[in-house]
């Protein structure tokens, strides 16, 4: 069987998208093989678009290590662009079924024909998981000595948000994995500072993918917690290494940002070729 894939990125957080009739039995193995940046195509995750009885279409995301992810804000925007392109348009309204529930996605054209601007419904930010230690920062020790305070949140997937003076001072590969290791089901870990009026700067460690250029769910949870701490308002620009996203907390929580089409590919027997 030959799979037709499209590759997209949302602020440098990149995904392969396959619109198929059913989820392959070896979906995890495909994610590991296709997402490998040396022997595969390369991506942070693989998204399958499937028929849905609850929404317009169903989205199932696998991280680059083959593990499932409940939700991704950047992935959802990229998925929206992939579905729109498959229908010959760059403007689309979708109700997407995800493991975290139905999420609405509005796709709109931009001056760049390869890029759309998408607004996605992110759901409700809830309290996140507790670590398996009494004092997380003491348990982690040296890698997170610069953390001023932290809190966990959940928006369909788990996050740990750590306030620091300068995220660039953090050894992200060491500190992110060290914090995540104290959560039984893993977690996305973010090091965040207020960088302007209603503006945050964030660096991202993602469960199942490691260091990434952006995280839409993490941007949303970070904005929500920093608002709870009284440090930002309802509309927050979140600056990440891959670019900026807007989180709107004033009503139903939304995330707005770009999604860019990179390439179309065909993958026969596990090998990728330009299509």
Backbone angles phi, psi at 43, to 5 degrees: -170, 165
CA distance 175 to 166: 14
Output the pTM of the full model: 0.92
Predicted confidence at residue 270, as pLDDT, reads: 55
Q: What is the mean pLDDT of the chain?
A: 95
Residue reference for tokens 């590759």:
7
- Asked whether residue 192 falls in the same domain as residue 230, the answer is yes
CA distance 123 to 119: 12
- Asked whether residue 67 falls in the same domain as residue 151, the answer is no
- Asked whether residue 116 falls in the same domain as residue 153, the answer is no
CA distance 193 to 176: 16
pLDDT digits (tens, 9 = 90+) for 116-133: 999 999 999 999 999 999
CA distance 145 to 48: 40
- Asked whether residue 184 falls in the same domain as residue 201, the answer is yes
49 vs 156, residue with greater confidence: 49
Q: Is the pLDDT of residue 158 over 60?
A: yes
> Residue range 223-241: average pLDDT?
98
Q: Is the pLDDT of residue 231 over 70?
A: yes
Contact assessment for residue 76 and residue 47, using Cβ atoms and an 8 Å cutoff:
no
- Asked whether residue 6 falls in the same domain as residue 80, the answer is yes
Predicted confidence at residue 268, as pLDDT, reads: 80
Predicted confidence at residue 210, as pLDDT, reads: 93
What does 14-77 look like in DSSP terms, one character per residue?
EEEEEE-SS--TTHHHHHHHHH-TTTS---SEEEEEE--SSSSEEEEEEETTS-EES--HHHHH
Predicted confidence at residue 1, as pLDDT, reads: 78
Contact assessment for residue 49 and residue 4, using Cβ atoms and an 8 Å cutoff:
no
> Residue range 60-77: average pLDDT?
95
Predicted confidence at residue 274, as pLDDT, reads: 47
Looking up residue 130, the CATH number of its domain turns out to be 3.10.310.10
Q: Which of 153, 167, 164, 146 is nearest to 214 (CA)?
A: 167
- Asked whether residue 150 falls in the same domain as residue 52, the answer is no
How many domains, the chain? 2
- Asked whether residue 112 falls in the same domain as residue 18, the answer is yes
Predicted confidence at residue 73, as pLDDT, reads: 95
- Asked whether residue 37 falls in the same domain as residue 73, the answer is yes
CA distance 262 to 221: 28
> Residue range 82-110: average pLDDT?
97
CA distance 105 to 127: 24
Predicted confidence at residue 271, as pLDDT, reads: 53
- Asked whether residue 140 falls in the same domain as residue 246, the answer is yes
Domain ranges, residue 17: 2-121+257-274
- Asked whether residue 219 falls in the same domain as residue 162, the answer is yes
- What is the distance between the terminal CA atoms of the chain, rounded to a whole angstrom? 15
Q: Which of 97, 100, 107 is nearest to 8 (CA)?
A: 107
- Asked whether residue 53 falls in the same domain as residue 145, the answer is no
Give the contacts of 223 (CB within 8 A, at least 6 positions apart).
200, 232, 236, 238, 247, 249
């Amino acid at each position: 069987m030959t799979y037709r894939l499209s590759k997209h990125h949302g602020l440098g957080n990149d995904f392969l998208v396959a619109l198929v009739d059913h989820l392959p039995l070896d979906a995890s193995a495909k994610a590991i093989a296709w997402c490998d940046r040396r022997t595969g195509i390369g991506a942070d995750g693989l998204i399958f678009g499937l028929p849905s009885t609850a929404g317009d279409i169903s989205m199932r995301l696998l991280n680059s290590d083959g593990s499932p992810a409940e939700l991704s804000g950047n992935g959802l925007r990229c998925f929206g662009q992939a579905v729109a392109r498959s229908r010959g348009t760059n403007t689309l309204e979708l109700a997407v079924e995800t493991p975290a529930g139905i999420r609405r996605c509005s796709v709109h054209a931009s001056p760049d024909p390869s890029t759309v601007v998408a607004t996605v419904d992110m759901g409700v930010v809830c309290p996140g998981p507790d670590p398996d230690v009494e004092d997380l920062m003491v348990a982690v020790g040296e890698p997170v000595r610069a953390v001023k305070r932290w809190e966990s949140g959940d928006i369909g997937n788990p996050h740990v948000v750590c306030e620091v003076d300068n995220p660039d001072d953090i050894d992200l590969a060491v500190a992110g994995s060290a914090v995540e290791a104290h959560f039984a089901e893993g977690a996305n870990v973010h090091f965040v500072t207020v960088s302007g009026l209603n503006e945050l700067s964030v660096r991202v460690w993602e469960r199942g993918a490691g260091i990434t250029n952006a995280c839409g769910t993490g941007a949303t949870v970070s904005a929500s917690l920093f608002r709870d701490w009284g440090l930002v308002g309802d509309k927050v620009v979140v600056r990440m290494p891959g670019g900026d996203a807007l989180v709107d907390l004033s009503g139903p929580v939304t995330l707005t940002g770009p999604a860019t089409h990179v390439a179309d590919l065909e993958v026969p027997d596990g090998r990728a070729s330009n299509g």
